[in-house]
Structure 1
Amino acid sequence: MEIIMDKTKVRRLLGFFGLVLVGCSTADNDMVGGNIQAVNHTLNNINWLSVNGYRADGGGGRSCCIVMPIKWRPGLKAHIEWEVDTDPYAYSKWPPLGTDGYRAAQAKHKINYQHYSAVVDIPEWPEKKRCGLSVHFLVCNQVKVTSSCSSFNSPNYPIKEPLDMKEPAVCPK
């Protein structure tokens, strides 16, 4: 019997086993698994994202897993890639779901998806308190990340930009 797994499932399993293997260790270079969360501040749809090769859903929930050092150290970077749908409600004008017309409209729509990438610093997190990584998608294809354990919109949360931001007529360089 042949077992077939896609790359995402394999990566998640490896991340989980990595967490099990290093979860009790304390050396400076040890790694631990955590969740990735997407927070979309734009009016576009974030279809998916990846952080340092760990792919996640862009829909706003938490996705498993990213592997991060147990201890923060200067110079930690997040290489983020993501896909944007700038017309997320186009499907409301398509033929009925499951029809050839729907599939054709979807294929035509996907051609317009946009891909971006950015490298950002990962801010320091408190010793012995790891809460995964939240990636905030802002207007003008900007991103910010945090490893804060506070909830979004709480006074202690470091990223203050509002949700549902409209793109400005001109983006800063």
Structure 2
Amino acid sequence: MKITWVRWLLGVFALVLVGCSTADNEMAGGNIQAINHTLSNINWLSVNGYRADGGGGRSCCIIMPTKWRPGLKAHIEWEVDTDPYAESPPLGTKEFRKFMKVHKAKYQHHRTIVNIPEWRGTESCDLKVHFFTCNQVKVTTSCWAPSSPNYPIRVPMGMKEPSVCPK
């Protein structure tokens, strides 16, 4: 909670600092949203150093330009629990703590860099990070809801990891 408050203050401070810049360099704060299309659990993610919850809700905040420009990239890191429904001993027991130590050692960490697709004018609505099988990632700033036929990423949810991933 304390870290979130500090990050919010830093984000506001950053917005104040860039508030006097030219229109081409204006920045604004927005949310990060994880959309998981896999059967694994995304524990957390980070986009350009801004950390967010991987549980599917929106997390504050990421600072991005108000106008798209060529070359915008998202440096994404994330942690995956490939067995989120593993049966565990009762919570709070010594056995549970031992189980979690072994379970957490199996978490996978990934990173990638993806292009942030173009948006027109000031139409950017948060940064939505889509996680697919084979550790593939796409991002969008679309203002449409993911359930809308106008949403740019139309991939089913609950995708099972293939036995072999394409290279």
Is the partner of 1:10 in helix, strand or coil? helix
Tell me if structure 2 keeps the 8 A contact 1:23–1:32.
no
Partner of 1:62: 58
1:153 pairs with 2:147: yes
Partner of 1:80: 76
Query: What are the residue-to-residue correspondences of 1:98-117 with 2, within 5 Å?
Result: 98-117=92-111
How far 1:23 sits from its partner (Å)?
A: 6.3
Partner of 1:34: 30
Alignment coverage as a number of residue pairs: 167
How far 1:117 sits from its partner (Å)?
A: 0.4
Q: In the alignment, which of 89, 97, 102 is matched to residue 85 of structure 2? A: 89
How far 1:118 sits from its partner (Å)?
A: 0.5
Partner of 2:9: 13
> Hey, what's the Cα distance between the residues in 1 that align with 2:27 and 2:144?
22
Q: Which runs of 5+ in 2 are unaligned?
A: none
> Hey, what's the Cα distance between the residues in 1 that align with 2:97 and 2:19?
45
> Hey, what's the Cα distance between the residues in 2 that align with 1:20 and 1:155?
37
For 1:104-135, what per-residue CA distance to the aligned partner results, in whole angstroms no more than 9, with x for missing partners? 11111000000000100000112022211000
Q: Identity rate of aligned residues, in percent?
A: 71
Cα-Cα RMSD: 1.8
For 1:115-159, what per-residue CA distance to the aligned partner results, in whole angstroms no more than 9, with x for missing partners? 000100000112022211000000000000000000002111000
> Hey, what's the Cα distance between the residues in 1 that align with 2:22 and 2:103?
49
How far 1:51 sits from its partner (Å)?
A: 0.2
Partner of 1:120: 114
